[in-house]
């Protein structure tokens, strides 16, 4: 190995919500050459670490002037939007939310388009959750409900469940029963011990019948009775079961699933132990929800226009933009991960992008400032999919630090307010 090569150990990957913190990043010539231990998704997320460092679209090349220009653009808006895209540290998310507060803007992020059902259901019902460590150490029955983590959360099974040895599962996989629940084309892992299949149309009836069976009530619908009884029996016999579901649901998933799975896992705690594990995609999405909750009490879709935070999950960024209710948008983070519904609704809105590869974004933004990726070029805090905080650290220099830049933008906005 040449002298110029260095290895950063125990780096956290934000390629998906698993946030694996055992990655060894090999760097040579200011490029990432290898991300050891990372899955293919993680290797892709790290890439080679190269980034543009441009500032484009402003009337001046000096960053102070560009920040003043952005401040003026946002302050002149009737109804500004601050949008949190992925790949930000919690510190950068906090700085962006502070700007939304200053501007009396509407603040939202990708969660409203991808994971709102599960969050709203948990707010209605509460939620029996667990850390991934608890699942790893205790879960002897693992139910994958319409999800195979192999595609989007590739190391979930090897790091958390069912494969690893746990405190109460000394033989690892051999001590656990894996149940795949296939709902239509959404299939669980191929190597499950038990497979239960249903059509998408049957799912809600199946879940209602499962809860009825667990409560000791007779099942009316004989077409699903045998499958319901089998799953109910296995869940009841478990010392500790976990139901794993994909919180990043495609639009085709019926909205009742999240609510029914919460109800199921809660009712199982009357007789045994059960938790619900909601898988989230990468880029510190749980961080965005949590930091927004710290600031406002709400995890998404927060309206500051009345001077105090107001929760409007039924009128999120996509809908507001589509109705022409936002006339300027500050988008912070990786614009490649913005859901199509929001991307298309941005239309003719005046846009400022601050984030990694902002200068290459396909959004028609007036001003773009390149910054770094959380966990590759920028240090700070992130949250794993179970809301456990994990530090991330820069292994390469950033073109400019997102949180510091947003703090400076906040100061520019405040200065213009004071002089107005």
Q: Which positions touch ligand SF4 (CB under 6 A)?
A: 13, 15-16, 18-20, 38-39, 41-42, 45, 153-155
Closest alpha carbon to 12 in 22, 25, 1, 2: 22
Task: Please tell me whether the peptide bond between 155 and the residue prior to it is cis, using omega within 30 degrees of 0.
Answer: no
Q: Considering beta carbons, is residue 39 or 210 the nearer one to ligand SF4?
A: 39
Residue holding tokens 């019926």? 254
Measured in whole angstroms, the distance separating CA 228 from the mean position of its chain's CA atoms is: 32
Tell the smallest beta-carbon distance from residue 23 to ligand SF4 (Å).
Answer: 6
Task: List, edge to edge, every strand of the sheet that includes 177-183.
Answer: 194-198, 177-183, 141-145, 240-246, 273-279
Beta bridge partners of 166: 169
Tell the smallest beta-carbon distance from residue 49 to ligand SF4 (Å).
Answer: 15
Q: Considering beta carbons, is residue 18 or 300 the nearer one to ligand SF4?
A: 18
Distance CA 187, CA 154 (A): 15
Tell the smallest beta-carbon distance from residue 389 to ligand SF4 (Å).
Answer: 15
Closest alpha carbon to 341 in 116, 120, 149, 153: 116
Tell the smallest beta-carbon distance from residue 48 to ligand SF4 (Å).
Answer: 16
Name the helix (H) or strand (E) containing 360: none
Name the helix (H) or strand (E) containing 188: none
Q: Considering beta carbons, is residue 38 or 139 the nearer one to ligand SF4?
A: 38
Q: Considering beta carbons, is residue 176 or 280 the nearer one to ligand SF4?
A: 280
Measured in whole angstroms, the distance separating CA 227 from the mean position of its chain's CA atoms is: 33
Tell the smallest beta-carbon distance from residue 275 to ligand SF4 (Å).
Answer: 20
Q: Considering beta carbons, is residue 13 or 268 the nearer one to ligand SF4?
A: 13
| Token digits of residue 238 | 């478990």
Tell the smallest beta-carbon distance from residue 388 to ligand SF4 (Å).
Answer: 13
Q: Are 299 and 311 in contact (CB under 8 A)?
A: no
Q: Considering beta carbons, is residue 280 or 320 the nearer one to ligand SF4?
A: 280
Q: Considering beta carbons, is residue 290 or 359 the nearer one to ligand SF4?
A: 290
Q: Are 81 and 328 in contact (CB under 8 A)?
A: yes
Q: Considering beta carbons, is residue 106 or 153 the nearer one to ligand SF4?
A: 153
Antiparallel, parallel or unpaired: β 328-332 and 80-84? parallel
Tell the smallest beta-carbon distance from residue 154 to ligand SF4 (Å).
Answer: 5
Q: Considering beta carbons, is residue 39 or 328 the nearer one to ligand SF4?
A: 39
- CB neighbours (10 Å) of residue 305? 14
Q: Are 125 and 254 in contact (CB under 8 A)?
A: no
Residue-by-residue DSSP string for 15-63: SBTT----EEEEEETTEEEEEET--HHHHHHHTT------EESSSSSSH
């Amino acid at each position: 190995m040449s002298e110029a090569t260095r290895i950063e150990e125990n780096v956290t990957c934000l390629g998906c919500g698993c946030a694996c913190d055992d990655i060894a990043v090999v760097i040579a010539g200011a490029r990432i050459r290898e991300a050891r231990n990372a899955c293919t998704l993680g290797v892709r997320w790290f890439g080679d670490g190269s980034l543009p460092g441009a500032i484009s679209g402003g009337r001046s090349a000096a960053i102070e002037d560009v920040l003043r220009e952005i401040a003026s653009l946002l302050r002149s808006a009737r109804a500004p939007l601050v949008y949190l895209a992925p790949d930000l540290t919690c510190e950068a998310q906090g700085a962006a939310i502070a700007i939304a507060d200053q501007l009396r803007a509407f603040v939202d992020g990708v969660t409203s388009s991808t994971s709102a059902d599960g969050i709203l259901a948990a707010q209605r019902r509460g939620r029996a959750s667990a850390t991934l460590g608890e699942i790893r150490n205790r879960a002897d029955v693992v139910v994958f409900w319409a999800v195979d983590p192999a595609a989007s959360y590739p190391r979930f099974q090897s790091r958390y469940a069912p494969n690893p040895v746990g405190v109460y599962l000394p033989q690892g996989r051999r001590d656990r029963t894996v149940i795949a629940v296939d709902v239509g084309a959404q299939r669980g892992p191929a190597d499950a011990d038990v497979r239960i299949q249903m059509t998408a149309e049957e799912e809600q009836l199946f879940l209602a019948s499962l809860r009825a069976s667990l409560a000791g009530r007779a099942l009316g619908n004989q077409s699903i009775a045998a499958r319901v009884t089998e799953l109910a029996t296995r869940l009841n016999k478990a010392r500790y079961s976990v139901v794993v579901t994909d919180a990043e649901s495609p639009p085709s998933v019926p909205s009742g699933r999240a609510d029914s799975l919460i109800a199921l896992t809660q009712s199982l705690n009357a007789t045994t132990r059960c938790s619900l594990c909601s898988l989230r995609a990468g880029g510190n999405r749980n961080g965005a929800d949590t930091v927004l909750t710290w600031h406002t009490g709400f995890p998404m879709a927060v309206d500051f226009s009345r001077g105090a935070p107001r929760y409007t999950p039924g009128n999120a960024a996509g809908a507001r933009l589509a109705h022409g209710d936002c006339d300027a948008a500050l988008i912070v983070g990786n614009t490649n991960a913005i859901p199509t519904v929001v991307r298309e609704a941005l239309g003719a809105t005046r846009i400022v992008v601050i984030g990694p590869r902002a200068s290459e974004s396909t959004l028609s933004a007036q001003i773009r400032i390149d910054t770094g990726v959380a966990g590759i070029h920028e240090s700070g805090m992130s949250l794993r999919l179970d809301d456990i905080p994990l530090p991330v650290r820069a292994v390469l220099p950033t073109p400019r630090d997102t949180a510091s830049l947003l703090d400076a933008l906040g100061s520019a906005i405040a200065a213009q307010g004071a002089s107005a």
